[in-house]
Amino acid sequence: MKYFDCTRSGPRSAFDSNVVYQFEIMEYILDFAFDRLGANGSVIDHPILITECVCNPVQSRSKMAELLFETYGVPAVAFGVDAAFSYKYNQLHGICKKDGIVICPGFTTTHVIPFVDGEPVYKGSCRTNIGGYHVTDYLKQLLSLKYPFHSSRFTWEKAEDLKLEHCYISPDYASEVRKFQEGTKEAEEKTRYWQLPWIPPPIEVPPSEEEIARKAAIREKQGQRLREMAEAKRSSKINEMENELRSLHFLVNQLDQVEEDDIPSFLSDTGYASRQELESTVSKVTQSLKKARGEPKDEPEESEENNDSLNNEKYPLLNVPDNMLTPEQLKDKRRQIFLKTTTEGRLRARQKRNEEELEKERRNQLEEERRRENPEFYLEEMRAQYKEVLERVEQKKRLKTNGSSTNGNHKSGGVGRGERLSAAQRERMRLLTTAAFDRGKGEDTFGSRDEDWQLYKLMSKDHDEDDERPDSDEAELARLSSRLQEIDPTFVQKAEGESSQTSGEAQRARPLTEEDYKIVIGIERFRCPEILFHPNLVGIDQVGLDEMSGASIRRLPNGDRELEERLTSSILMTGGCSLVPGMKERLESGIRMIRPCGSTIYVVGAMDPVLDAWRGASAFAADLNFLRNAFTKIDYEKGEDWLRRYHIRYNNL
């Protein structure tokens, strides 16, 4: 793994910011380190130098010493500050002087430590809870908000790569932002692009004329086969009904030859209750046969007489006067009237549906004949009809939703409340307005006359019935769409809610292109590292690096101007964030603004900001005077007060 952020991984971290507080986990880390160093024994028989943060809490220092003494049995322990080791190492190589300031922007915190005569003055040190982790996380958040559909690609490791490769610190943040807002050529040159993997969608090639003709021939052949199957099924059904009708006529002829006394037994053997039921079955089968043959139905007088006789048998009380009936019979008569009315209504509705089906079949046959005569002309005519009906349907929907846009009383796009009302709602509004004007003068006497109550009857009518019924244009549009799908292989039906090109409604979402997979990193390049100088950009109410240097100088015990000049003339940058381009120039300009005019400001970077702390600690541990700065278990047992006052002497390095 190139990067491993233990604070964001699954296992618990041993650190709270840069302070060790989980010593059970710290023990696993030390076990791993000693194992890699080859110290596999039960006791580590070597003095240990371990780094810590500035002004480390005595509880953390005490727990660490206890862990090293009790668990690993080390003979001596020394604690030092990593930024101080880096400063002393660069001092040995002539990079900085004995008097100076070290600025260490680390992973989660930033420290500023002044050095006087080669020793750190911790009373003048400063700390800010901002570091490289916050810069990386801020960059990750900005890119995720800018490109939400690519947020899964902005991992913490990738954001760290982008920070190290592209981020820089601007000399003047406000002017740099202004350049990007104005879109200057310099801003365009500083913009970086990250192209994500993108596969172009396959181009849909329209079918050739040969392919269209081949599909049309296949569709015609399939249609012919379906028509033949339907004709065969229809012929089989007609034969079955003819056989049934012949058998029924045979039963009627036999019934005529049977004597009156034997009729009940004969009918019981055939499954019919009466002669009228048998004749009714003959009539129904005859009508079904005519329907299957496509012949018009007729209502002969005999069938009407039969229906009358059946009604007389089924509803015997219909023709009896009410004064000749008992109360119970009157109830039965009313029920029979209701049943007869309902039955007749169903029969009429069924007859109407049959007529509509016959008319539909006849129209389909005529259209099929027209198509066979001239297929191209028929197809163009169907397309024109579809387009015309579609425009009417969309116009109705827009008027129903938004009202008429041609009303001169409203501005363009404005819709009055009356234009949004349906026809039934407008009628009710008219009735109420009329009643208000008629009764608006003098005393309110509405309801004193019987005709006033007719208003409620008019308002309670279901005027919305017309609006709820299926629109004829929509039904015609569905028919034309279905027909075009059958005869035109290139026809694509518009989805519901999709408008035409001339309408003002929103179009469908366009497909993603290569530009949508291009990540533009412009203002983010310097906006993210800017939080080192303005932590309030991420909600941290603390000072930046340049102001920390001034605060550190002001915290020194004596106000010696010469000492302040020596400190500002040797400012060392160390730590990973000091590698960001532009850090040196920005620090110099920032510190110069808070120092008196003419002050000497010199900022220099460490030879290796990442590893100089380890190299300085290594040189310190290899010195012969190292054990004088370490303490043993006996010293540790003196208590936390002694441990709080303990510190090493860096001049031995």
**pLDDT, position 414:** 45
pLDDT, tens digit, 9 for 90 and up, residues 375-392: 788 888 888 888 888 888
| CA atoms of 198 and 148, how far apart (whole Å) | 17
Sign of the CA dihedral with 73 first, then 75, 76, and 82 last: negative
**pLDDT, position 8:** 52
**pLDDT, position 653:** 64
Residues of the chain with pLDDT under 70: 1-11, 296-314, 400-424, 432-433, 435-471, 494-509, 652-653
Torsion of CA 354, 359, 365, 370, to 10 degrees: -170
pLDDT, tens digit, 9 for 90 and up, residues 584-612: 999 999 999 999 988 899 999 999 999 99
Displacement of CA 438 from its chain's centroid (Å): 56
**Three-state secondary structure call for residue 371:** helix
Residue 336 Cα distances to 205, 307, 312, 319, angstroms: 69, 15, 11, 11
Closest CA to 159 of 518, 525, 515: 525
**pLDDT, position 313:** 61
Long-range contacts of 250-257, Cβ-Cβ distance < 8 Å, separation of 24 or more: 251/278, 252/278, 252/279, 252/282
Beta strands 126-128; 192-195: pairing state = unpaired
Sign of the CA dihedral with 404 first, then 410, 413, and 418 last: negative
**pLDDT, position 355:** 87
pTM for this prediction: 0.58
**Three-state secondary structure call for residue 575:** coil
| CA atoms of 89 and 647, how far apart (whole Å) | 18
| CA atoms of 169 and 581, how far apart (whole Å) | 6
Residue 177, Cβ density class (10 Å: 0-12 exposed, 13-18 middle, ≥19 buried): middle
Contact (CB, 8 A) for 121 and 114: yes
| CA atoms of 383 and 360, how far apart (whole Å) | 20
| CA atoms of 284 and 347, how far apart (whole Å) | 12
Both tokens of 259, joined, read 């004597």
Residue 277 Cα distances to 248, 262, 267, 282, 325, angstroms: 11, 17, 10, 9, 28
Closest CA to 84 of 572, 560, 550: 572
**pLDDT, position 297:** 58
**pLDDT, position 91:** 94
**pLDDT, position 506:** 41
Both tokens of 236, joined, read 């089989």
Residue 274 Cα distances to 287, 343, 649, angstroms: 20, 21, 127
Both tokens of 320, joined, read 């009896």
Both tokens of 309, joined, read 């006789």
- Which letter does DSSP use for residue 542 in this model? S
Quickly count: other Cβ atoms within 10 Å of residue 187's Cβ.
17
**pLDDT, position 42:** 84
Per the DSSP assignment, residues forming a β-bridge with 103 are 112, 573
Displacement of CA 554 from its chain's centroid (Å): 53
| CA atoms of 555 and 162, how far apart (whole Å) | 37
Contact (CB, 8 A) for 552 and 539: no
Amino acid at 83: A
Residue 268, Cβ density class (10 Å: 0-12 exposed, 13-18 middle, ≥19 buried): exposed
Beta strands 603-605; 19-20: pairing state = unpaired
Both tokens of 216, joined, read 């049309």
Torsion of CA 34, 35, 36, 38, to 10 degrees: 90
| CA atoms of 27 and 41, how far apart (whole Å) | 15
Tokens 């006067």 found at: 321
Q: What are the two backbone dihedrals, phi and then psi, of residue 83, each rounded to the nearest 5 degrees?
A: -65, -35
